[in-house]
Structure 1
Amino acid sequence: MNNLLAVPVLLCLLGAAITFIAGRVPWLQRAVSITAVAGVSAVAGLLVWLSDNQTLVLWVGGWPRPLGIVLVADRLAAIMLLVASLVSLGVLIYSAGQDADELQRETPVSIFHPTFLLLVAGVSNAFLAGDLFNLFVSFELLLFASYVLITMGGTRDRIRAGSVYVVVNLVSSALFLIALASIYAATGTVNLAQLSVRLAELPDPVQLGLHLLLLTVFSIKAAVFPLSAWLPHSYPTAPAPVTAVFAGLLTKVGVYAIIRTQTLLFPDQPLTVLAGLAGLATMLVGILGAVAQSELKRLLSFTLVSHIGYMIFGISLASPQGYAGAIFYAAHHITIQATLFLVAGLVERVGNSTSLEKLGGLAKAAPLLALLFFIPAVNLAGIPPFSGFIAKLALLQAGIQDGSPMAWALVAGGVVTSLLTLYAMAKVWARAFWGEVPERVAHRFDRYDADPESSALPARMLGPTIGLGVLALVFTVAAGPMYDFVARAAGGLFDGSYALLVLGGVG
């Protein structure tokens, strides 16, 4: 069963090669891409089932421990891989449902599919990586793909936003290389299991310096304030499928890296006050930025930044309860944020704009679209009984249980952020979905009514959007078993089993 760990990455790389060769056969590209990501989802589901009873470890190439590349699937890695692959599959089907002219303009199919599969390969490898250098390679693979995807279409706005995105991530990659070199010089290894032992033997100032360096790198990638200004500038200009997969996955890989390194490498120096301040600032600054926006994609980008703060909130508590809340929130948020960005793409298709000043009456013109926005919007705001409420409640309870002044400040900040998120979503609803239907939207629907074979909301785009919305609701319906699973995942981060299982008794 351990050999399954290589399958998600290999499937995507093989699919990328085939779709690149089949660049002039769009239907074959779509079929191969969807099949590859569906295969990754199936394997990820199997890994979730297996990881609940054992941690799977694969030493690639058969090198003796602790040499070589190691892939590891514990509960945390498996659940993140499953949610990420399911969201990727939904986004991929959504992109395949676009009209031919829109697809060619927004996401040119000849390069979109191989690049998208490389992105999924990088994300999958990041969750399974058992050493820091392999994690670095994973980041570079997914960032290389994201550089292409974010500038796809070659418009001035996308090139400008892509330039900022590239520069910021090149800086973070350079810092990551410096951190890798420093860690290897100090310990003689980059294997996470070995580092969990060897870093503890270093002087405290050296540990602190290495810790801050890694935390800075991953905070840039996770868009933690004050290292988050690049995200609202970059994401809104990309095509809807690209923005959805970026919003759902890329920042969560950074959050995953923070969780993994905080618990495994620096359990005795969690920097709780610094992480708490960063989480509080991320929540408040992000949501205040969202409230000030009048463009839907920018507003959603700021809410994305804001809700990363909830995950840092849980991490800063440095307790099993806090990490359980953070993991559940991350998994839930992947689906919610991706769904909202797909809905934003449908809103733009119907209303020819995502500016709240130019929209109105969409609830009357497209009731199903209004429902598709409403459910994830109230979920994001944390309205009971949805999973957003359950995740926030878990974090608030963990903060109250901690009882420190920083924890109480985070609890208060979390409540304020939730209320402001509700206000931001209500503003979108009031301006875009209520009121009179703008003339251009009315004319658009008149034309589609006259031509039943056309549709402003194609079933092949609605289907995956509804599917991701249903996936988000699964977190509500099955909240008990799912939270129990992530609680066991969080507990496993503190029991010291990771290093023992990976090394197999090798020091």
Structure 2
Amino acid sequence: MSIVDIAPAAVVLPLLAAGASFTLYKHPNAQRLLSVVAMLATLCLESVLLVSTWGGEPQSVTLGAWAAPFGIVMVVDQLSSLMLVVSTLVSFAVMIYATGQGLADGDSDAPISVFYPTYLVLLAGVSNAFLAGDLFNLYVGFEILLTASYVLMTMSGSAPRIRAGITYTVVSVISSMLFLISIGMIYGAVGTVNMADIAVKAGHLPVGTQVQLHLMLLVAFGIKAAVFPLSLWLPDSYPTAPAPVTAVFAGLLTKVGVYAIIRTETLLFPESRVDNLLALVAAATLVVGILGALTQSDIKRTLSFILISHIGYMIWGISLATPEGLMAVVFYIAHHIVIQTSLFMVVGLIERRGGSANTDRLAGLAKIAPILGVLYFIPAINLGGIPPFSGFLGKVGLIDASVQAGTWQGYVLAGVGVFVSLLTLLTLTRIWNRAFWRKPEDAEFPDPILLAKDQDGKYGVRTSGELDVESRRYKGKDVTLLPRPMMASTIGLVVVGVAITVFAGPLFDLSDQASGNLSNPQVYIDAVLGSDHGASAEGGH
């Protein structure tokens, strides 16, 4: 038995824990403990997988008695194992954050009996998507995480969340239908859904057929990744969800779509050239996303548009079709998952302490809650690309890859990327100036919660009363505005973001290894089908 044989446990453990957690709905403390233990166990297992792939080639495990390409295959390489570790780490931080919010609010936004099982199912779906070695299993992973996301998004049952959930559901169903139709057409064309086998056989198809199948997959994955013009659903969906749900959605779900695009470009159709189209999409996503962010006053919507814009950085690297571009993309995805999630977690705390996430109603938070100022400032300048943070390093990696590619598309994208980075910094700085730097009394429409003081006349973290969601007023009992679990998990994830900068060297080394394997799809094919199987797909783009 090799280490890779434990890979299915990354999916099975969360699913088993979800089932057990649901049976414990009358025992909330047991639910919490079980969820924490299951997620930590999953994280440890995935860390072992990451260490096992460091410096090596992809490894595969077949489930059941059916060998590839007929059976279900899971594949572990540097990219998938890194995504597993980062996604579970972020999910764990958000779960602690959600637990703190639930305890402080009486679980009005996160009913224990529903939240924990659904959240674990979401993690299982994400893990399954990263490990999937065939398109249908990838589709199953998407459907698992999307089904769980529907429940999480509409958890409180409020009208805005139901409306946003409907939009999200309709868009996701359309994307899933396109993906399923694409799978059917690919199976009809090459007689398999195993990705390694597709890589061997797709090259023998007529060019027109390859392009058609290729573009259908890109459209389906583009919706999930929220690239322009397939991203219009995201700013109206994510900000209405509960703060923990928004954080984990923003950090993870779009990256699963980007991951699928990487596999499509480097493994399934490496010879079907759509690089120019991807470059155009990347530039449009970068620009449209940040222009949308500049027009917003609500911080959640602003960050949602910035999320769209920064997906453009990832598509930019993929469009270069070079090992240097893929290396920068792998690094940037890991960086962005952590930083974007931590920023949304901070905004959730800002909303609790200030009574709103709208900069027209916020002011003086640097004086009222200085720790929130620090927690916002660090990931904000990181995302804005200020040196020496990982956001700067990732963008420099993309620019360097563009220069090395030597194409006019690369130079244009480098210029657009620098321009968008400056606008990102401008947008995040404007939030800082309005929400943190102004005096509390200078807000245009200050919420009473923002100005609440304790018995000593100081700005405190508690106020008298129970939060009424509609009126944003408190009554009845004291409520902690900055619960310790929420603060601790946010601080922890911000520290992880800084650690990415400190340990950027090893992470770039791992990204370089991932890029080498992605650029040579034959190593993936050999890991799944064996070195003596069929024609070679070596060479990439």
TM, length-normalised to structure 1? 0.98
The answer on 1:480 being equivalent to 2:505 is yes
What residue in structure 1 maps to residue 204 of structure 2?
201
Distance 1:370 1:467 in 2: 15
Distance 1:123 1:308 in 2: 18
What residue in structure 1 maps to residue 473 of structure 2?
none
Distance 1:259 1:467 in 2: 29
Range 355-364 or range 259-268, more displaced: 259-268
Secondary structure of the 1:164 match is helix
- Distance apart, 1:65 and its partner CA: 2.9
What residue in structure 2 maps to residue 390 of structure 1?
393
- Give a deviation string over 1:249-278, Cα, whole Å, max 9, x none: 000000000001110011112311100000
- Give a deviation string over 1:284-335, Cα, whole Å, max 9, x none: 0000000110001000000000000000000000000001111111110000
The answer on 1:468 being equivalent to 2:468 is no
The answer on 1:282 being equivalent to 2:285 is yes
- Distance apart, 1:506 and its partner CA: 3.9
Range 234-243 or range 487-496, more displaced: 487-496
The answer on 1:257 being equivalent to 2:260 is yes
What residue in structure 2 maps to residue 19 of structure 1?
21
- Distance apart, 1:99 and its partner CA: 4.6
Question: Match for 2:296 among 287, 293, 298?
Answer: 293
What residue in structure 1 maps to residue 41 of structure 2?
39
Question: Match for 2:53 among 51, 54, 78?
Answer: 51
Secondary structure of the 1:442 match is coil
Give the alignment of 1:147-162 within 5 angstroms. Answer: 147-162=150-165
- Give a deviation string over 1:12-31, Cα, whole Å, max 9, x none: 00011011111121111111
Secondary structure of the 2:108 match is helix
Question: Match for 1:270 among 253, 269, 273?
Answer: 273
What residue in structure 1 maps to residue 435 of structure 2?
432
What residue in structure 1 maps to residue 314 of structure 2?
311
- Distance apart, 1:103 and its partner CA: 5.0
Secondary structure of the 1:196 match is helix
8 Å contact from structure 2 (residues 101, 107) kept in 1: no
8 Å contact from structure 1 (residues 270, 316) kept in 2: no
- Give a deviation string over 1:56-105, Cα, whole Å, max 9, x none: 21100132232210001001100111100100000001111125362522
Secondary structure of the 2:231 match is coil
8 Å contact from structure 1 (residues 300, 341) kept in 2: yes
Distance 2:71 2:162 in 1: 39
Question: Match for 2:526 among 490, 500, 504?
Answer: 500
8 Å contact from structure 1 (residues 12, 117) kept in 2: yes
% of aligned pairs identical? 50
Counterpart of 1:12, as a letter, is: P
Counterpart of 2:183, as a letter, is: L
Secondary structure of the 1:70 match is strand
Distance 1:346 1:450 in 2: 13
What residue in structure 2 maps to residue 372 of structure 1?
375
Distance 2:382 2:513 in 1: 24
What residue in structure 1 maps to residue 233 of structure 2?
230
8 Å contact from structure 2 (residues 15, 124) kept in 1: yes
8 Å contact from structure 1 (residues 359, 432) kept in 2: yes
- Give a deviation string over 1:115-156, Cα, whole Å, max 9, x none: 100100000000000000000000000000001111110111
- Distance apart, 1:2 and its partner CA: 2.4
**Misfit runs of 4+, over 3 Å:** 444-455
8 Å contact from structure 1 (residues 65, 506) kept in 2: no
Counterpart of 2:228, as a letter, is: F
Question: Match for 2:222 among 219, 224, 229?
Answer: 219
8 Å contact from structure 2 (residues 399, 414) kept in 1: yes
- Superposition CA RMSD, Å: 1.5
Q: State the aligned residue count.
A: 507
8 Å contact from structure 2 (residues 461, 482) kept in 1: no
Counterpart of 2:298, as a letter, is: E
- Give a deviation string over 1:363-422, Cα, whole Å, max 9, x none: 000111100000000000000000000000000111111121111111111011000000
- Distance apart, 1:449 and its partner CA: 6.8
Distance 1:374 1:361 in 2: 14
Counterpart of 1:500, as a letter, is: D
Range 265-274 or range 227-236, more displaced: 265-274
Distance 1:120 1:383 in 2: 32
8 Å contact from structure 1 (residues 350, 441) kept in 2: yes
Counterpart of 1:196, as a letter, is: A
What residue in structure 2 maps to residue 175 of structure 1?
178
8 Å contact from structure 1 (residues 270, 318) kept in 2: no
Structure number having the greater helix percentage: 1
Distance 1:161 1:99 in 2: 22
The answer on 1:381 being equivalent to 2:384 is yes
Range 45-54 or range 145-154, more displaced: 45-54
8 Å contact from structure 2 (residues 276, 319) kept in 1: yes
Range 440-449 or range 376-385, more displaced: 440-449
Range 371-380 or range 51-60, more displaced: 51-60
Secondary structure of the 1:269 match is coil
Distance 1:374 1:391 in 2: 19
Distance 1:450-1:376 versus aligned 2 partners, 3 A rule: closer
Distance 1:418-1:103 versus aligned 2 partners, 3 A rule: farther
The answer on 1:441 being equivalent to 2:450 is yes
- Give a deviation string over 1:409-453, Cα, whole Å, max 9, x none: 111110110000001001100110011124542324547478899
8 Å contact from structure 1 (residues 103, 109) kept in 2: no
The answer on 1:75 being equivalent to 2:78 is yes
- Distance apart, 1:55 and its partner CA: 2.4
8 Å contact from structure 1 (residues 350, 444) kept in 2: no
What residue in structure 2 maps to residue 61 of structure 1?
64
Question: Match for 1:334 among 337, 362, 366?
Answer: 337
Range 448-457 or range 20-29, more displaced: 448-457
| Structure 1: unaligned runs, 5 residues or longer | none
- Give a deviation string over 1:173-215, Cα, whole Å, max 9, x none: 1101110000000000000110101000100000000000000
TM, length-normalised to structure 2? 0.92
The answer on 1:7 being equivalent to 2:32 is no
Distance 1:319 1:482 in 2: 18
- Give a deviation string over 1:196-241, Cα, whole Å, max 9, x none: 0100010000000000000000000000000000000100000011
8 Å contact from structure 1 (residues 382, 388) kept in 2: yes
Counterpart of 2:203, as a letter, is: A
Give the alignment of 1:61-140 within 5 angstroms. Answer: 61-100=64-103, 102-140=105-143
Counterpart of 1:497, as a letter, is: V
